[in-house]
Amino acid sequence: MPDRSALPNPAPLADWLPPRPETWRLPNGLRVWFVEQGPAPLVSAILVFPAGSGTDPVGKSGLTALMADLLDEGAAGRTALELSDELKRLATGLSTVADVDSTMLSMDLMADTLEPSFALLADVAQRPTLDPAELVRRRDHRIAQAIAGESEPDTVRSIVLRRALFGDGYGGEIPRGTRRSLPKLTAADVNAHYRKVVQPDRAELVVVGGIDRASVAAVVERHFGAWTGKMTAQELPLSPGGALPAIHLADFPAAAQSTIAVAMRAPGASDPEYFPALIHNRAFGGAFSSRLNLNLREEKGYTYGARSLFFRFRRAGMFAAIAAVKTEHTRSSIDETLRELDEMQRERPLEPKEVEEAVSGLLLGFPGRFERTGGVAAEVANLPTYGWGEDWLTNWPDRLRAVTIESARAIATRYCDPKAMDLVVIGDRAKVEPELAGLGRKIFVYDAQGGIR
């Protein structure tokens, strides 16, 4: 009979590593990343261009996202509906998205339709229609989404947080644009931006699934080998940041909650302290049992959940503690967050048990990122996007295990100084501003599109 007098111990961590991708380049510069995976005849492909909303001109945020949106709205003489019908006939899914550092065309398909599916992918990338009528339709839809987003505190927090930390430079705008910027985008803007971004010389094509390398190489060469061109899109400069931390407030009259962020800038994805920061964040606010959540949710009851994260772009990033709290507890929630940060660097540094639990939790969650073909493709696509090497994923567990308690504690000296944090508050201004005034920071008031009033 099993002993039920005590809780069972967790099973040992599985000794598992993700596959390392194979890579090769075409003469035009396009690099292929290939992973043969599993017996299922399923394939996921992602065509990555290393230029995203970071290349949107000042005042025209959303340009790259709108351009990406239009790529599959007709190509090579097909209308948007005709292209959609062909994809459905092949049981192939196609989507496009632009983030700060990349524009991606993603495909999920059956292995036996690789040839016709990649023919369509090549048409979408190389011969899009970019129909002005479709542009108006998609732009108007995005404007409507932006207007709807202005009623969502989380969306406004994201807009204001980026503006607060990055200004009007690189990373300072949400990729999809705002109601203020989207109406300015024209067909000429989209066509010019397409020519600057969607070119093969720096493109990356990720292919993952139940198919062999020779088949992939042949199909890629047929449909992408003759493509020529050079990417010329230029990213915005990184702004120097604010001279002094401040409070950034957007008014949501009569809101029952305040959505808050306590944040500061951080290095980008190539930060040499990337892995110690993962462990620091896991213990501070990256798990349900983290210090921040146990305080604000479990002990104080201010919120349904509080969390923290390091959010990395290629050239810069941020560390932020985030929560939606009861309006009457806005100031006390900020005070508690600042106190937790201060204690992390002073009287309550990371404990060995916290480091052990953080490493264990991160390792246990790691294989789940590779459960599906599309998940593997997305992980591989991050490698060229953020300048990580081919061995990044296979070395990830060992690099995490190699973090010492000293290096994890040292993160607190960089990111846990309460006096260095910017504060973002989205809530009822009439109720929260008088309390915020006592924090000794200048208060900037924003509209829902990130403009300072």
Percent of the chain with pLDDT over 70: 99
Q: What is the DSSP string of 123-172?
A: HHHHSB---HHHHHHHHHHHHHHHHHHTT-HHHHHHHHHHHHHHTTSTT-
Q: 408 and 276 in one domain?
A: yes
Q: 203 and 117 in one domain?
A: yes
pLDDT in tens, 70-105: 999 999 999 999 999 999 999 999 999 999 999 999
Q: Which of 188, 138, 159, 197 is nearest to 446 (CA)?
A: 159
Domain count, the chain: 2
Which class for 363: exposed (0-12), middle (13-18), buried (19 or more C-beta within 10 A)?
middle
> Quick one: pLDDT at residue 38?
83
Lowest mean pLDDT, pick from 3-17, 130-144, 174-188: 3-17
> Quick one: pLDDT at residue 6?
85
CB atoms inside a 10 Å sphere around CB 297: 18
Kindly tell me if the per-residue pLDDT of 4 is higher than 90.
no
| H helix or E strand, kind and range, residue 197 | helix 187-197
Helices (H), 302-441: 330-345, 352-365, 373-385, 392-401, 405-415, 429-436
Within a domain: 420: yes
> Quick one: pLDDT at residue 2?
75
Q: 430 and 378 in one domain?
A: yes
pLDDT in tens, 11-45: 777 778 898 999 999 999 999 999 999 889 999 99
User: Domain of 378: which CATH number?
Assistant: 3.30.830.10
Say how far apart CA 327 and CA 53 lie, in whole Å: 34
Q: Which two tokens stand for residue 100?
A: 């700060």
Q: What is the DSSP string of 32-89?
A: EEEEE--SS-EEEEEEEES--GGGSPTT-TTHHHHHHHHHTS-BTTB-HHHHHHHHHH
Q: List the domain range (segments joined by +) for residue 155.
A: 22-224
> Quick one: pLDDT at residue 30?
98
Strands annotated E in 267-362: 303-312, 317-326
What's the rounded mean pLDDT across residues 145-149? 96
Q: 165 and 27 in one domain?
A: yes
Q: Which of 189, 224, 259 is where one domain is finished?
A: 224
